[in-house]
Amino acid sequence: MQFFHPACGDVYDATILSPPTELPPRSHARSLSPYYLLSSGKKVNVPWSAIVRDRPAIELDDAVALVPRNCFHGNVVVLRAIDTDGDQLYGWFVKRQSHLLQRLTKRIIIQIGMTCNAVRPSSSLVTCFIDAIFTNSTVDFESLAVVRFERKRSILGDVASNQRKTIKKRSSRPTRPTRARSARIAKKGVDEHETTCVVCMEDFTGFVERPCGKCTTPVCQSCSDRMRGMCAVCDRSKLNAHYECHGCGGLEDLKHSGFPCVTCGENVLCAMCYRAYDECYACDPLA
């Protein structure tokens, strides 16, 4: 799939990228915030990645009633959740001192929106994070968010238990070279002539196969890894293109694209979705 994006030029599907050799750091341990929603009396922790505006929101005492005169734009925390069509929706909440995020009523949202439009027309509340009651009135944002956040918690639980198992296995097994290392060792000796990499201009030895299969321009291993399976000559336009993330639908450059989905492992997410342990469209249980 390829289409032209007016702002940033060519956009490709991230599936054409080869897997990254290095993954950005992430930790399941710090993925959930202490803030929570209440769903039938049960606390559902909000992932940090779902909090898109909190600067820092002024907390409302738990005893204070949620009525228009007690709420203004400074109280608003914005959460994000992806709906069943893959679109980003935003919901406005107020932060209670107990860390409860309470959904604002339609009346308060309208009132804060109107005041913001008049007094602070450049506020992110009215420019980027318009509440779902205006953008998709068929969805109950809080119910959607609860489903999304519970799914995130179960994914993080699986990640944690898999990691514990891997650590156990590793400690009970003698160390040996990883597959990548042995592959690189095996490659040595194929071509020991020193050549200059056309990308970084550094001298290197060892033959690195061109992904296109036709060019003979020498490219070193680290440049080749960075180009994610692209040929420095044939795929020049793709090297500067953007790639669509299969999680958030965002467009990112080569360096920030093609990271694995937490469920299927396909390299189709942007770096931000990867760090948040997000899933791709194909794995979305609501889609």
Residues of this chain that interact with Zn ion (CB under 5 A) are 197, 199-200, 212, 215, 220, 223, 231, 233-234, 245, 247-248, 250, 261, 263-264, 270, 273, 280, 283
The nearest distance, CB 151 to Zn ion, in angstroms, is 13
Q: 104 or 244: whose CB is closer to Zn ion?
A: 244
Q: 31 or 123: whose CB is closer to Zn ion?
A: 31
The nearest distance, CB 81 to Zn ion, in angstroms, is 14
CB 192 within 8 A of CB 203: no
The nearest distance, CB 266 to Zn ion, in angstroms, is 5
Q: Which H, E and C letters describe the chain, residue by residue?
A: CEEEECCCEEEEEHHHCCCCCCCCCCCHHHCEEEEEEEECCEEEEEEHHHEEECCCCCCECCCCCCCHHHCCHHHEEEEEEECCCCCEEEEEEEEECCCEEEECCHHHHHHHHHHHHHHCCCCHHHHCCCEHHHHCCCCCHHHHHHHHHHHHHHHHHHHHHHHHHHHHHHHCCCCCCCHHHHHHHHHCCCCCCEEECCCCCCEEECCCCCCCCCCCCCCCHHHHHHCCCCCCCCCHHHHCCEEECCCCCCEEEHHHCCEECCCCCCEEECHHHHHCCCCCHHHCCCC
Nearest Cα to Cα of residue 145 among 37, 286, 262, 32? 37
The nearest distance, CB 270 to Zn ion, in angstroms, is 3
Q: 52 or 110: whose CB is closer to Zn ion?
A: 52
Q: 129 or 277: whose CB is closer to Zn ion?
A: 277
Q: 100 or 234: whose CB is closer to Zn ion?
A: 234
Q: 109 or 284: whose CB is closer to Zn ion?
A: 284
Q: 167 or 286: whose CB is closer to Zn ion?
A: 286
The nearest distance, CB 24 to Zn ion, in angstroms, is 12
The nearest distance, CB 236 to Zn ion, in angstroms, is 9
Query: How many other β-carbons are positioned within 10 Å of the β-carbon of residue 76?
Result: 27
The nearest distance, CB 192 to Zn ion, in angstroms, is 17
